[in-house]
Structure 1
Amino acid sequence: MFLDNIKKRKIKSLMISILHRLFIILKIRKCHFMVKVAKQVSLNLMNPNDLKLLRKKNKWTLRDFSGKVGVSKSLLSAMEKGERVITAKTYDQIRQSLGLVLETRTDEELRAHLDYLKLTLFETTAEIVMEKVVGIEKKYFHVEHLKRHHYDRVYRCGAIQVYEADKLEQGILLEMSGQGLREFEEFLAESDFELNDWLILATD
């Protein structure tokens, strides 16, 4: 796999430089539609206020809470402040440690399979998208000069593609096919991260 030689990166700084206007086109298997992705992609995740309220309601210090749920005090503090995302894995660990019942999904909740992804990012550069949004160093991409999607060149790392135009106002296009998404999920998994968590950060 082409990503095997890429050094593992800490995803915690993945989206520090993500830029103001972010639009996502999702093509879902058997159903193609355009949406603005909501900040909470995973419907049952806690937000920072929920986490802090849970701790305060039980009159626990951060040290007490850390011992009960098996999550470090520093990470809990960062999640309460909104500095770190509450991942699906951490969310489940907290609830299971405290014996809380998981909500049951209703029939009205959307179930979808992400088959194809396009992100158009404005007021940024291709290098920032590669290194801060995707989290892969620019040196692992090779550039091709071509005219496609009204862009002038594309940077490729496997099936992950970043398009750049000479006209800055057109923005930077990040495109992943189904294969690209699978490769990206494998890359995120090396740092114990999930695509769902990345989408939450990308749209925050």
Structure 2
Amino acid sequence: MRMMMPPLLVCCEGKTEQKYFQILQRIYRLPGARISIVGEKGQHMALIERTVEEREQFCAKQGFRPDEVECWAVCDDDNMPWSYKELLEYAKKNNVHLAFSRPQFEAYLLQHFEQSGESHQKVLYEKLGAYKTGFDGAGYDESTKGDLEWLREAIDQKPKIVDTAIINSNQRKKRSGKVFLTVQALVEWMRKYRR
């Protein structure tokens, strides 16, 4: 028997993260009326505060209590002025789960294709560009990173790459002294409710 998915609210730091989770929502055929995935909601502590505000609006529209809604804030390091531990504690205090990438979300996207601990933006973009070129002939940079049509196509062709990203991310988590990626926890949560 399939588990019933609780209402889900995902607040993302930017468009790239939002588009990625919208791809998963479609791929996993998750019910849209009870899911809200929103982007460009701020960074770090401000993102968590915006998530709390979004939860209030979501509950008012959908008729749920705040404690019934699974809330996630998706952000990355971006030279944040707080430690990961402080950010995580703030999220927990506000009943929000944290899906975090260090140094940035591209570090997680790369895990779909290879296990990597890469932390330099230029190299991350070059590596993703090499994979992206196979789909649309273009590279990956600041101006194109919000276009994830190529990744949607890659996942459509080979859905197992999402499982690969989870496995690779979990391996990095074991090897890294500090938090590298926790985004895969949200992906696993969504995958649990797929049709």
Query: Could you say whether these structures have the same fold, taking a TM-score greater than 0.5 normalized by the shorter chain as the test?
Result: no
Higher helix share: 2
Higher strand share: 1
Q: Which has the larger radius of gyration?
A: 1
TM-score normalized by the length of structure 2: 0.31
Greater relative CO, 1 or 2 (CA 8 Å, sep 6+):
1
